[in-house]
Structure 1
Amino acid sequence: MDALFIAATMARRGLLTPARPDRVVRQFASLGRWGFGLAGELRQAAARSPQRVAVVDDERQVTYAELLDRSARLAAALPVTAGQRVGLLCRNSARMLEALIGVSTLGADPVLINTGLSAHQLAEIAKAQDLTALIHDDEFTDRLGDVPNRIGEKQIDELIAATPRGLGTPPERPGRTIVLTSGTTGMPKGARRPTPGGFSPLCSVIDRIPLHAGDRIMIAAPLFHTWGYAGMQIALALRATIVLRRRFDPAEVLTTLAAQQVTALVAVPVMLQNLMDLPTGHAGLKAVAVSGSALPGGLATRFMDRYGDVLYNLYGSTEASWVSIATPADLREAPTTAGRPPHGTRIRIVDGQIHVSNGMLFEGYTGQEAGSRTEVGTGDLGHLDDKGRLYVDGRADDMIVSGGENVFPAEVEDLLAALPQIREVAVIGVPDDDWGQRLAAYVVLRPGETLGADEIREHVRAHRARFSVPREVVFLDGLPRNATGKVLNRELPRNF
């Protein structure tokens, strides 16, 4: 059954179209020799479509043949051996792909580092992850302090230019990419991502999200983030053209979508909010795939009303990869749903918490012994409706008890986010001397809109129980977010 599913999905997405026999042979030979990690996926794409543009960024464009050549040269030149860890502190660019694939080619483990971290956090991560070297964009030099063995942009280019051509040989063990958890509540942990064992993981996603071979895909989500990284893996497998920009600017994104004839966009929800602040949209998109945080109330419907029914919402985590995918039809019928589990994924609700099993569960945190897992908990509370759709009710550790009642901040947050006057909102629990805990709402209004604290409280009171009404309503110019768009609750003011 799995083989039939894979074959049917690959055919629908254009991966089985005829091509020159010699290229097809080299393509599958590359996968057989190198496996389905980054090095193997690049080699199969270069074997089948060597002159197709692989990456377009702010500075240049490179073909698949050129990307393979440069990453292989870099692998040969890096002062790194198999099994060592190399940090990557880079924004989205072709150079980051060259470095990421080059490190993986060696059998070393790339550690993807959030570009929003402080100098102190970077030093702590370099130590905790035992980095042999750190590849970084030049703009971060001043943050690196005493971090040893740093390799900047100019040095990367010099290493590539000075190294003879050669494609290398497969390492005994493929490099394991380490993705750092979001770190919104503490120091990020490193989660080891598994190497796919075949076509099944790819087909599980593209069966539900209509991405096709040769698409032009803009990855706006940071490549150091689980979702941006997954988008890159999918794009390489599809031999797509990957469009990247170092920084997200909504107006520039619209210009790029049109100029580069982009057919699919990989983003995080806050980016869609920013796009919706612009007066116009882009009509050429066939799929907009988002992940990384919950879709705020009403955003899915508003976005599809402007861009068409092209929105797909993937709910997952660094540890679980994907859990469920909501299609446009799901989001039209139930805008707050996280969708249904894709092929090969199973969801269980255990004591109100979401547990998942699939073929791409993480292998453990760095510092812990690696091992296979059959199921992981996401740390989120959730429930299923009678159609099998999943709903995420909030983080298990975010639920508060106010006067003996269980209160879910996310439920109130979603209610307020649907108000037309509100651009963004965060609701959290804070200590209360009388009730144990109470809710506080942090609200950002849209330009030119007015809304009072009492009006917000009355709206909640009219739609939810009295213990869900936020005692404090704080108006801000913007919510503090990390580089992937997640709200940093610890940085919300508590001066009330």
Structure 2
Amino acid sequence: MLEMAVSGHPERIALVDGPNRLTTAELSELADGGAGVIAASDAEHVVYVGSGGVMQPLLIFASARAGRAYTPINYRLSAEGVQELIGRLPDPLVIVDERYREMIGDAGKRVLSSEEFLAAAPTAEPAAEFADPEAVAIVLFTSGTTSKPKAVELSHANLTSYITGTVEFDSADDTDAALICVPPYHIAGVNAAMSNLYAGRKMVYLANFDARDWVRLVADEKVTTATVVPTMLDRIVTALEQEPVELPTLRNLAYGGSKVGLPLVRKALQLLPHVGFVNAYGLTETSSTIAVLTPEDHRTAHGNPDEAAAKRLGSVGQPVPGIEVQIRGDDGSVLGPGEVGELFVRGEQVSGKYTGIGSMLDEQGWFPTKDIAMLDDAGYLFITGRSDDTIIRGGENIAPAELEDVLVEHPHVHQVAVVGVEDPQWGQAIVAVVVPAAGVDPDADELREHVRKFLRGSRTPDRVVFCDELPTNATGKLLRREIIENLRDANADK
């Protein structure tokens, strides 16, 4: 992909990272030298601990040209957590931003700061190996919100099939620019580096997200497309409400990583009517996006008087080319439209393989996502939650999303998470944890009554708890386990 980009437009600016600007040719030369540094280390794996920017695309391509797998690790973890993950990788060369170097300790065969790597690459003996398409290219650790992180193995074939199946080569205009603020250790951060380069779109990195910096960069760099996680979208909308700014160059804004409340989506559509919004749904194990709600889908659903059409604003759209989906019941049978079950996916971009565990694909190549989902009559995919999150109250299975979708529409609710906690009478009790709208002091009974108007009585929260913010990871994924632990600790203190 990098060679193709260079052959087409060697002098085009490939990326902007603060004061640093690299053309595609300069990125390729650095990747050759970086591959030489990696090969000379005799390490079997490349690890990066840092906030990204130029280091992300450089290490993706340098590692590939050196024939080594690459793993960016979450720098927000504790030192113990970072070292534990490094210890699970074979004989790694660790490259680390200087500010995180102390976290590494004795982990890794060899440790280089990002500055040392960048200084060594231009004078190193270049290496440019063409890897086996089935070899592991990227290893990413899952977020581990409900269990120990698993190491997902993505091959060159998995990743390139996703890029070539969803992106047209050199399709971007000369003035196109993508603002990248998703972290490097997330699958979206990996694919942003590849998809934008392949399309010929300038990449503008914002390593440490701030809503006002994001707005400023969109204006200064004439950004045309961007990808954000839900927490980022919420902060951008708040910043634009407080200080309206026209962003005339911005054409597309993709959001994903976890569920986004419909009031926030509607508000974003109203604030930025000229922007095409994209809801992208995918998993680490599927090499990123497997379903997309397009800008046209958003426009059609927003304010549509037809209930079925309007409801699709809460979907993740339809599968991307090359992806097949099935909804299966508990007995393994394939369910029809409108029926809720577990989502299974199949396609060349789907890995489903974990280090030390092996492949989770079945004999026909289907991967069990553990997401509970439904397809409507037109093939739009609705994700209702994780199978692990299902609340079992009095023997009845309850999806948290069912209550969350109702509660978030109440004007006094800004954000909400619904969880199940241990209860001696019902097995589990339903607790709604609510972040109130600004300047409002909601009444718990009023919110419970609001749910009762739309759902049957067994779905009414047993308790409503208020808090200033919900715990999420850096990609905006709700940490339900932490919510449950906090509730348990609060009860123990009583």
TM-score by length of 1: 0.86
Equivalences for 1:83-98 in 2 at 5 Å? 84-98=44-58
> Helix, strand or coil: the match of 1:176?
strand
Match for residue 262 of structure 2 among 279, 292, 297: 297
Q: 1:443 to 1:372 in 2, by over 3 A?
A: closer
Q: Give the Cα separation in 2 of the matches to 1:477 and 1:230.
A: 33
Residue matched to 1:120: 80
Post-superposition offset of 1:49: 0.8
Q: Check if 1:257 corresponds to 2:212.
A: no
Distance of 2:44 and 2:114 partners within structure 1: 21
Seen in structure 2, the aligned counterparts of structure 1 residues 213 and 361 have a Cα distance that, compared at 3 Å, is farther
CA contact 2:224–2:249 (8 Å) conserved in 1: yes
Contact 2:258 2:478 in 1 (8 A): no
SS of aligned partner of 2:121: helix
**In 1, Cα distance between the equivalents of 2:214 and 2:22?**
20
Q: Which residue of 2 aligns with 1:66?
A: 26
Q: What is the alpha-carbon distance in structure 1 between the residues aligned to residue 263 and residue 164 of structure 2?
A: 30
| 8 Å Cα contact 2:38/2:93 also seen in 1 | no
- Determine if the alignment matches structure 1 residue 350 to structure 2 residue 317: no
The residue that corresponds to 1:191 in the other structure is 152
Checking the alignment, whether the CA contact within 8 Å between 1:250 and 1:275 is kept in structure 2 is yes
CA–CA distance in 2 between the matches of 1:242 and 1:393?
A: 33
Give the Å deviation of 1:199: 7.2
Shift of 1:197: 7.4
Is the CA contact (8 Å cut-off) linking 2:159 and 2:349 kept in structure 1? no
Q: CA deviation at 1:116?
A: 1.9
Evaluate the alpha carbon distance shift between residue 394 and residue 445 of structure 1 in structure 2; reply closer, same or farther with a 3 A threshold.
same
Aligned to 1:327: 294
Counterpart residue type for residue 7 of structure 2: A
- 8 A Cα contact 1:83 1:107, kept in partner: no
Q: Which residue of 1 aligns with 2:338?
A: none
Q: Deviations over 1:197-226 (max 9, x none)?
A: 79763354348xx97354211112112211
1: CA distance, partners of 2:360 / 2:387: 25
Contact map agreement 2:286 2:352 (CA 8 A) in 1: no
Contact 1:92 1:223 in 2 (8 A): yes
**Residues 366-375 or 300-309, more deviating:** 366-375
Q: 1:420 to 1:371 in 2, by over 3 A?
A: closer
Give 1:451 deviation, angstroms: 1.2
364-373 or 401-410: which moved more? 364-373
Instruction: Report how far residue 371 of structure 1 moved.
Output: 9.0
Deviates more, 1:336-345 or 1:299-308: 299-308
User: Which whole-Å deviations, capped at 9, do the CAs of 1:259-292 have from their partners, x for residues lacking one?
Assistant: 0000000121221111111122533221112221
Bigger shift: residues 172-181 or 356-365: 172-181
Task: Tell me, in whole angstroms, the C-alpha distance in 1 between the residues paired with 2:315 and 2:462.
Answer: 28
Return 182-191 or 366-375, whichever deviates more. 366-375
Query: What's 1:434 paired with?
Result: 425
Please, what TM-score do these two structures have when normalized by structure 2? 0.86
Bigger mean CA offset, 180-189 vs 249-258: 180-189
Matches within 5 A, 1:17-416: 41-78=1-38, 84-148=44-108, 149-163=110-124, 166=126, 168-171=128-131, 176-196=137-157, 201-202=162-163, 204-206=165-167, 212=172, 214=174, 215-278=176-239, 279=241, 280-281=244-245, 282-308=247-273, 309-321=275-287, 322-331=289-298, 332=301, 333=310, 334-351=312-329, 352-362=341-351, 364-369=353-358, 374-416=365-407
Deviation, 1:369, is 4.2
Consecutive unaligned residues of structure 1, counting only runs of 5 or more, are: 1-40
How many residue pairs match? The answer is: 453
**Letter of the 2:138 counterpart:** T
Q: Which runs of 5+ in 2 are unaligned?
A: 302-309, 330-340
Sequence identity (%): 29
- Find the aligned partners of 2:89 and 2:121 in 1 and give their Cα distance: 26
Shift of 1:363: 5.2
